[in-house]
Amino acid sequence: MADKSGDAKLTLAEYLPLDVQAKHHGEEHFKGADTDHNGFLDLKEFGAHAEAKLGKTGQKKATADGPAQ
Ligand SMILES: [Ca+2]
């Protein structure tokens, strides 16, 4: 589980290993995903960010009816 501290929030340090482009854009992505600018990504923020990224790259994503097959 990426949330090493177990508080249901991701810090920048926890987020960076998850982002394949983190070497160049991880901090930028993190700040973009942190919509309430509190320095943590909660599940709602991370989910929205991941969905946006998956949509951009054309990969399958979950729908309202359930996960992608
Ligand atoms: Ca936040």
Domain count, the chain: 1
In a domain, 43, yes or no: yes
What is the per-residue DSSP string for 23-69?
HHHHHHHHHHH-TT-SS-EEHHHHHHHHHHHHHHHT----BTTBS--
CA 61 to ligand 1 center in whole angstroms? 22
In a domain, 4, yes or no: no
CA 35 to ligand 1 center in whole angstroms? 6
pLDDT of residue 41: 94
Contacts of 24 (CB under 8 A, 6+ apart): none
The string of pLDDT tens digits covering residues 14-58 is 888 887 766 778 899 899 999 999 999 999 999 998 888 777 655
Positive/negative CA dihedral, 36, 42, 48, 52: positive
**pTM, 2 dp:** 0.61
Residues within 5 Å of ion ligand 1, judged at the Cβ atom? 34, 36, 38, 45
Range of the domain at 35: 9-57
CA 60 to ligand 1 center in whole angstroms? 25
Q: How far apart are CA 4 and CA 68, in angstroms?
A: 27
In a domain, 46, yes or no: yes
